[in-house]
Chains A and B, each alone.
Chain A
Amino acid sequence: MNQPGTTIIVVELSYQLCHSSAIGLEALRVTVDKLARAYGFLWALRDLNLDLTPGQCVALLGPNGAGKTTLLKLLSGLITPTTGEIRFDGVIFSRSMPELRARVGLLAPSDHLYDNLTARENLTFFSRLYKQSVVPESLDSALEQVGLAERAGDYVANLSSGMKCRLSIAKWMLLQPELLLVDEPYGVLDGSGIRLLENFLKHQCTCGSIVVMASHHVSRALDLCNRVVILSQGRLSFNEAKRQPWPAFETAFSEFLPHGGS
């Protein structure tokens, strides 16, 4: 793929395993080969091949209906592929593998929280669900980091969607998934929220996790990520590590968005 002779600065992937759950476990590597998914007879995603290595922070771009959400759902195990398979360290990821699901997370901004439980109870519930033991202090420190310390006792129903997103971030901070999928988070977050999210995602990547973020905020996603994947009509049209300068990306990207896309 690299054109010979041009000076290329490839963003180096450096990571060292630092989050607790990964100690003793070799960092998770996700391979996707000939993945396809059809709804009824319509192909939402066709013969997709990906190789996600630890430390990658992938920006998943593409127009509406390109298959971004389908890919996220497939990677998170919510839906099963029609053909092809997803392998975690060579092991096929299927619903009969609960322990593999413990290593995957899907950050849906204001979803996946119980409205009638308080913020703290939500965190307790999900951390007990994913892990045996739960240290109360870690809950408080997570809430502290996302700035919800004083709202710990409030019901989630009374929180604003921005605060719900912060609570989801706190949740995944606690659960430390090795593959974190993020579905268009920028819609609800304010300035400090976005900084908080991006620091968290960067921290995850430097700790050897894989982050795949689907978004329409191209400029933001580009700053954050070290790899870009573009989908259109269910097919992979671009998959390259970030580099300066990046002509290939401009051409691939301009195909489906009017020039100067947001």
Chain B
Amino acid sequence: MTSPARTTANSPANKKTNRAGLELPAYRGGKTTLCAGCGHNAISERIIDACFAMGIEPDRVIKLSGIGCSSKSPAYFLGSSHGFNAVHGRMPSVGTGALLANHELVAIGVSGDGDTGAIGIGQFVHLMRRNLPIVYVIEDNGCYGLTKGQFSPTADVGSTLKTGVVNDLPPIDTCALAIQLGATFVARSFSGDKKQLTAVLKAALAHRGTAMIDVLSPCVTFNDHEGSTKSYAYVKSHDDPLGELDFVPFFEDISVDYEPGAVQEVTMHDGSRLYLRKLDEAYDPTDRMHALRVLHETHDRGEFATGLIYVEPAAADFLTTLNLVDEPLASLPESRVRPPKAVLDEIMAGLG
């Protein structure tokens, strides 16, 4: 993980300018319209921190997303960057096109576990395979927040909806999947772990290739069932559930801070627990099979390994293999994209 000098939104370091000559507020976005306590908001904050710390120029950034609560969040950071809120599950293709047009752009993609794991899994697979240079953040809450709480493909076996429907399907581990597909930077973190998440995001921004980060991010409103490892949830233990049709309680963010090698138990509002295991400092993230084994083993123990799980720093990214001219394709002048008359004449002669 690069850049040990951390700067967060709350430290006094805020007032200073970064290497792009900007202050932290230059990285803020619109006011969030997500629920209070939603993990996605914390992630937006960390993206702001990381971009500020890395001195990214906002006018070189493009923010990309699909559809979902998570996919709304690019509106809430880097307000002066271009953004494209595409259609559900198809952000990877839009991002690919944009980077083809201009390989100098810094692409930050935000998706949800539904957006990526369900309708978008095909584009996800092919994005990983291509190693497109993009930071790809999955804001992973195990459910479809925006459509009111249905299971997503990362929901745990045994999770139960309010209606009593139980999920019988095994979750897709997006990290293991990405590694399997040849992704070159794979990490997992928790929305409430400021230190780790900022560090992971900074490393991702420094990586040339696809940097996939699965961020466990509680949905405080819908993922409220005992079985879930990704949930907050409300008033369950003692009260008679009031069952209001659309009451969304107010929650504070959960935050954690724990050491490498340690397991952190995160207690949710409903008493359910999430176990995070931070990879220890000796962990070697360049061994693919080892990374897969760690993911499988922690999963079998009911834990989530967090940190930079796998990285292959040297792999050529997609744009490099295309061998494009140095200038962005989008800004090539007519003289460089319309061949001269001699070329047309040559072709015509060949067909005549």
A binds B: no
User: A interface vs B, CB < 8 Å?
Assistant: none
